[in-house]
Amino acid sequence: MKSLMYSEHAEKYDSAVQDNIYNACLERPSLQAMLNDLAGLNVLDLGCGSGVYTQLLIEQGAAEITCIDVSEKMIQIVDSKFGSRVSSYSQDLSIGLPQEEPNSKDVIICPLVIHYIEDLCVLFQAVNRVLKAGGYMVFSTHHPLADFECSRSGNYFERELITDVWDTVGEPVEVVFYRRSLTEIMDAVTKNGLAVTQLSEGKVADKVKEISMERYNYLSKNPNFIFIKCQKLC
Ligand SMILES: C[S@@+](CC[C@H](N)C(=O)[O-])C[C@H]1O[C@@H](n2cnc3c(N)ncnc32)[C@H](O)[C@@H]1O
């Protein structure tokens, strides 16, 4: 799903997420904790944004890195940061991964993207096709319990398009995303040949105490994101 947050505000988004609370002190350390050694591996970064994770993949020694994002602006930022060190292209992930070879990737990461995609089955089917046997994917998304606070339908089990306004880039920007149940997420994974091997609700970093004790206390007691690791069944 295209959003002004990731096109018009892409540069500001890039600088905001370098050291903010939600991405830098909660989401990234929690997802990174679920990755094994990446040295020498072929890794796909789905919904790569401005390449904050791509930088981590390079630092951790991934051999080949492919970055995909629907936002051409985000892909331009990735290209300007990493040049030929990574392959990158713009594509909507809701159509799957038609440009990727079967059984070609060791690891796929997809941080904070699936809530922008309506039908998850197409994506997870493609993930299963593109992963090597025994390869795995780690993804994060909004915690279903946290998103249910924005529900207008009041029906947790019904997928719902939510419009919200976020201050991530220092000014209010409207963002539209899908709220869905944990059952729907797990079904999309497990009905497409992937086995869930780890689930986490994240852990806020201690350094948030120095930024805002109030936020630290809140995030220590309330789930905000959910993290799932799933492996291709052989
Ligand atoms: C919250 S950002 C996360 C970026 C990056 N994964 C990170 O964690 O820093 C979400 C990204 O998903 C991309 N995105 C949203 N819908 C998409 C879709 N249907 N296909 C591909 N990328 C999409 C956006 O353009 C944006 O760059």
Q: Which residues contact 110 (CB under 8 A, 6 or more apart)?
A: 46, 47, 137, 138, 139, 140
User: Using a 6 Å cutoff on CB, does residue 14 contact ligand 1?
Assistant: no
Going from the Cα of 195 to the center of ligand 1, the distance in angstroms, rounded, reads: 24
CA atoms in the 13 A half-sphere facing the CB of 130: 23
Amino acid identity, position 213: M
User: Using a 6 Å cutoff on CB, does residue 176 contact ligand 1?
Assistant: no
Nearest partner of 105 among 193, 196, 31, 38, judged by Cα: 38
User: Using a 6 Å cutoff on CB, does residue 13 contact ligand 1?
Assistant: no
User: Using a 6 Å cutoff on CB, does residue 53 contact ligand 1?
Assistant: yes
Place of tokens 């997870």: 124
Query: To test ligand 1's pocket by mutation, which of 52, 54, 69, 94 has the most ligand atoms within 8 angstroms of CB?
Result: 69
Nearest CA to ligand 1 atom 15: 1
> What's the fold here for domain 4-143+181-232?
Rossmann fold (3.40.50)
Going from the Cα of 26 to the center of ligand 1, the distance in angstroms, rounded, reads: 17
pLDDT digits (tens, 9 = 90+) for 87-102: 999 999 999 999 999 9
Predicted local distance difference test score (pLDDT) of residue 2: 73
User: Using a 6 Å cutoff on CB, does residue 22 contact ligand 1?
Assistant: no
Mean pLDDT along residues 37-49: 98
Mean pLDDT along residues 100-112: 98
Mean pLDDT along residues 207-234: 97
Nearest partner of 140 among 170, 108, 169, judged by Cα: 108
Question: Alpha-carbon Rg of the chain, whole angstroms?
Answer: 17
pLDDT digits (tens, 9 = 90+) for 5-29: 999 999 999 999 999 999 999 999 9
Predicted local distance difference test score (pLDDT) of residue 67: 98
> Is the distance from CB of 73 to CB of 98 less than 8 angstroms?
no
Q: In this model, does residue 234 exceed pLDDT 80?
A: no
Q: Is 178 helix (H, G, I), strand (E, B) or coil?
A: strand
Query: To test ligand 1's pocket by mutation, which of 14, 116, 117, 176 has the most ligand atoms within 8 angstroms of CB?
Result: 116
Mean pLDDT along residues 125-154: 97
CB atoms within 10 A of CB 60: 15
Mean pLDDT along residues 70-86: 98
Query: To test ligand 1's pocket by mutation, which of 20, 70, 117 has the most ligand atoms within 8 angstroms of CB?
Result: 70
Predicted local distance difference test score (pLDDT) of residue 225: 98
Bigger pLDDT: 20 vs 1: 20
What ligand 1 atom has the least distance to the C-alpha of 10?
Answer: 27
CB atoms within 10 A of CB 141: 23
> In Å, how far from its chain's centre is CA 216?
22
> Is the distance from CB of 120 to CB of 137 less than 8 angstroms?
no
What ligand 1 atom has the least distance to the C-alpha of 27?
Answer: 8
- What residues form DSSP beta bridges with 78? none
pLDDT digits (tens, 9 = 90+) for 168-179: 999 999 999 999
Mean pLDDT along residues 152-167: 97
Nearest CA to ligand 1 atom 8: 111
> In Å, how far from its chain's centre is CA 182?
16
Predicted local distance difference test score (pLDDT) of residue 99: 98
DSSP summary character for residue 98: T
Q: Which residues contact 201 (CB under 8 A, 6 or more apart)?
A: 143, 223, 225, 226, 227
pLDDT above 90 coverage of the chain, percent: 98
